[in-house]
Structure 1
Amino acid sequence: MTAFFFALSFLTRLPIIIKIEYNDRLPSRAMNFYPMVGAIIGLILILLDYLFSLSLPFSIRNILLLVFLIYLTGGLHLDGFIDTIDGIFSCREKEKILNIMHDSLIGSFGAVAIILLLILKYNLFMELTDDFRTPIFLLMPAISRFMAVVAAYNYPLAVSSKFAKEIKSYLTYKEAITAGIYLLIYFIVILYVFSFPIYITIIIFVFTYLVISIFLNYVVKLIDGLTGDVYGAVIEISEILVLLSFLAANRLIVI
């Protein structure tokens, strides 16, 4: 269970009940449990959503959910998203892009992108009706964190941090398959408990996977690989894609 608690401590601010002894293989082994950590985040979101619904207007409820989601993850993925956007929109050569991504200062592209991202996510939250709000809040964090596993396993690593190198160096098909199995089990539970349409789940997953693949191929073309920042960007972009694909499917198909 050490790898699970490491994943929980890395992806969230939740307190850990055991002492974790770090080793080089731990970051890659922890990827087994990324969808499970996403599931925990989803459960916290629906609990908070219910508590907020007891006394707060819908708009305030959604703002608070967004704030708590950022706090719960420590802004880790947002930071990666900002750095990635600053780099890939700089229109520079590979080395310069990497230097910009590793710079701790936020640039103009990153600032604009984070504002637009948060506005979009808030409005997507506002569009979620009570009928499917709970299953989507459960699916969103799990699918997005699985996409980070896909990115780490399927794509090469550019020059990056020691942590990202440890993930890539020891990551095997076993971690990717295990994470996929956990996600599949999670899908089945949601489909059974909430009677959520299986074809909508497939649409959400396939759409998110395809768009993320296009994005990652573009990044690899620019810098010959991915970085830890890009993994974070994948999670943030995937959350948006899950919400967008559900709302689009909901409008096009009578659920």
Structure 2
Amino acid sequence: MSTPVTEPPKNKIIEQLNLFYLALSFFTRLPMPKTIYYSEALLNKANRYFSLVGVVTGGILALAYVLFNCFFPINIAILLTMAISLLLTGAFHEDGLADMADGIGGAFTIEKRLTIMKDSRIGTYGAVTLVMTLLLKFTLLVKLAEQGSNHLLFAIILAEVLSRALAGSLISYMPYVSDIEQSKSKPLAQSQSLSELTLLLFIGITPLIFYPSEVIFTLLIILVLFRYLFKRWLMAKIGGFTGDCLGAGQQLSELLIYLTLVSYINKDVFIELARTGHHIMGIVG
């Protein structure tokens, strides 16, 4: 169990590692170093590494699938990998999606919506949204895996990284509307500088280098449009964002990434990805 302290580290490298550990401890249940320097200011700075957390979780999930697939059929291996994902994050993002669905779907005023979103109990809107999301994710992952492990492994890493970049970018230019002291969730980064946003997005788009230009262009157009519409919708419904909204944004953008990749399965543009995967596997082997 890490022990947060408020005195910031003076070494630049240690400072950046500390920010990364803060981001990792916020989004996962992975064990952290015994001492993590914590303050609200440091947590705000840690948002630059939110997408880097996806590199860690994506790598773990990709490895988990490879191991499970050695012993089980594709559908069982994927189901077990999804279970690992929930354990790895404590269903943090899924909980946010369900809470947002309950709050915005079950009330007509901003105050009531925020009150429902802070309630730890799950309602009809949240349950239905969560079940549909998990079923759709499972179906899409099976479809990708049926084309070969390379398609699935690259997709998992891309979705884990890029979806967190999109969700983290929502912090920019949107007010935080939930009271930290009354919220059931952890304290949340509430501000974002241009340099932090730039690093967050740069890390987020890096896995796209393994994909053909047509896929890259389509994904970016879809995600930029989704971010614009989702941001406008949140401003209209609650006047800003909460931690639950960021979790929902991550889950929804992850599904959009998988949906887009599945739509390209039968096209020749994925030949390049398959070749890249075989080359990488050959080097590793």
Q: Same fold (TM over 0.5)?
A: yes
Distance in 2 between residues matched to 1:64 and 1:165, nearest whole Å = 30
Cα deviation digits, residues 158-205 of structure 1 (max 9, x gap): 23325887622x4211210111222344433xx2xxxx3133133223
1:13 is paired with a residue whose SS is: coil
Q: Which of 227, 242, 249 is the matching residue for 1:227?
A: 242
With over 3 angstroms needed to count, the CA separation of the structure-2 counterparts of 1:185 and 1:62, relative to structure 1, is closer
Instruction: Answer whether contact 1:160 1:227 (CA < 8 A) is retained.
Output: no
Q: Pick from 127, 147, 150: which aligns with 1:111? A: 127
Tell me the residue number matched to 1:167: 189
Q: Residue 250 of structure 1: SS of its match in structure 2?
A: coil
Question: What CA distance in whole angstroms lies between the structure 1 residues aligned with 2:31 and 2:186?
Answer: 23
Note if contact 1:219-1:225 (Cα within 8 Å) is conserved in structure 2: yes
Identity %: 29
Which amino acid in the other structure matches residue 106 of structure 1? I
Quote the offset at 1:221 in angstroms.
0.2
Counterparts of 1:15 and 1:201, CA distance in 2? 34
Give SS of 1:20's match.
strand
TM-score (norm 1): 0.90
Query: RMSD between aligned alpha carbons?
Result: 1.9
One-letter code aligned to 1:143: L
For residues 39-58 of structure 1, what are the structure 2 equivalents within 5 Å?
A: 39-58=55-74
Q: Cα distance, 1:250 vs. partner?
A: 3.0
- The match for 1:60 is 76
Question: Equivalent residues in 2 for 1:186-201 (5 A)?
Answer: 186-188=207-209, 191=210, 196-201=211-216
Residues 53 and 61, structure 1, Cα contact 8 Å, conserved in 2: yes
Bigger helix share: 1
Q: Are 1:150 and 2:165 counterparts?
A: no
Q: Is the CA contact (8 Å cut-off) linking 1:158 and 1:227 kept in structure 2?
A: yes
Aligned match of 1:6: 22
Following superposition, the deviation at residue 249 of structure 1 comes to 3.0
Tell me: CA distance 1:134–1:107, structure 2 relative to 1, closer, same or farther (3 Å): same
Larger radius of gyration: 2
Shift in CA distance, 18/198, structure 1 to aligned 2, threshold 3 Å: farther
| Aligned equivalent of 2:51 | 35
Q: How far apart in 1 are the matches of 2:267 and 2:261? A: 10
Gaps of 5+ in 1: none
- Picking from 149, 158, 164, the partner of 1:139 is 158
Q: Does residue 1:211 correspond to 2:226, yes or no?
A: yes
- 1:180 is matched with which residue: 189, 192, 201? 201
Question: CA separation in 2, counterparts of 1:21 and 1:119?
Answer: 39
Equivalent of residue 101 in structure 1, options 114, 117, 122: 117
AA in 1 matched with 2:164:
R
Q: CA deviation at 1:125?
A: 0.9
| Stretch of structure 1 that moved more, 137-146 or 26-35 | 26-35
Paired amino acid for 1:177: T
Structure 2 residues without counterparts, runs of 5 or longer: 1-16, 271-285
CA distance in 2, matches of 1:157, 1:62: 35
- How many equivalent residue pairs? 248
- SS of residue matched to 2:189: helix
